[in-house]
Amino acid sequence: MKLIESEEVAAARAEGRPLVALESTLVAHGLPWPDNLAVARELEATVRAGGATPATIAIVQGVVQLGLDEPVLERLARDGSAFAKAGATDLAVHLARGTSAATTVSATAVLAARAGIRVFATGGIGGVHRGEASDVSHDLVALARTPIIVVSAGAKAILDLPRTLEMLETLGVLVIGYRTSELPAFYARSSGLALEHRVETAEQLATIARRHWELGGGGVLACNPIPAHAEVVGLEPVIAAALAEATAGTITGKRLTPFLLARLARATAGASIVANRALAVNNAELAAALAIAVTDG
């Protein structure tokens, strides 16, 4: 596998400084232009301000890029359609064919771990889709197999959260609440679903993760609730209506999540986009602290 590191990432690795992986699907397919570019820059700046180095990951013409320079980042944001949406199982196809792709949670986690990065900040993970228990995102399987901490505001609110939490347990993913005893519901801080484990500091979480990996464990899901000032509640009717529209239009697979997020943005007059940005930045802040704690340990 051919991998190119940006100058910033290469310098950080050479000096033993902590790295935080960031996905590129959020930029290419998750938010509209120019909000996506602004968020991408803000996430990277947040990681740097926290004392770590950001490594946004994408595949560009068949080459894995760890850290994107400004022209590539802007092209990813401005012309997301030129980048396929790649999960972990799609990686080999793009690498073999020399095509370009934005990486989802599963793909980013796998590539980051291969590159020796132990912490990855995202918005929300995939999970079990509503109404169809057999429709499960590969994010969960990849997380179970991959030794990395994924910092997330829970699973995306459009999913079946109880079944997603059950599937995480079934697959052996260690789920830990960061200053919360409930699974966050992405746009909302609470889902009513209790978590078995909770920590109060990044250092506590990093220590647990290291012990987990020493025992041969895979991924750790760090659940970090959206900041209180940014949460959006009462979205269930909106989500139900969007799901009904998707069903009527036979929108499934990789097209479903972008479709639903776009409908939520329209129905909330952009409030969901503001919330998405706030939670992503909040996760990047925690990820930087975790990367330092994991490196120092």
Q: What is the mean pLDDT of each run of 10 residues along the chain (297 residues)?
A: 94 97 93 90 98 98 97 95 96 97 98 97 93 83 97 93 97 98 96 97 98 97 97 89 84 75 86 92 98 91
Residue 249's domain is classified under what CATH number?
3.40.1790.10
Domain count, the chain: 1
Tell me, what's the pLDDT at 1?
Answer: 84
Tell me, what's the pLDDT at 222?
Answer: 98
Asked whether the whole model's pTM tops 0.75, one would answer yes
- Name the residue among 279, 296, 286 with its Cα closest to residue 120: 286
Say if strands 84-86 and 3-5 run parallel, antiparallel, or are unpaired: unpaired
Which residues are the active-site residues? 23, 156
Give the separation between CA 73 and CA 92, rounded to whole angstroms. Answer: 22
Residue 142: domain span: 3-296
Strands (E), the chain: 3-5, 19-22, 53-60, 63-66, 84-86, 101-103, 119-121, 149-152, 174-178, 198-199, 220-223
Give the separation between CA 43 and CA 284, rounded to whole angstroms. Answer: 6
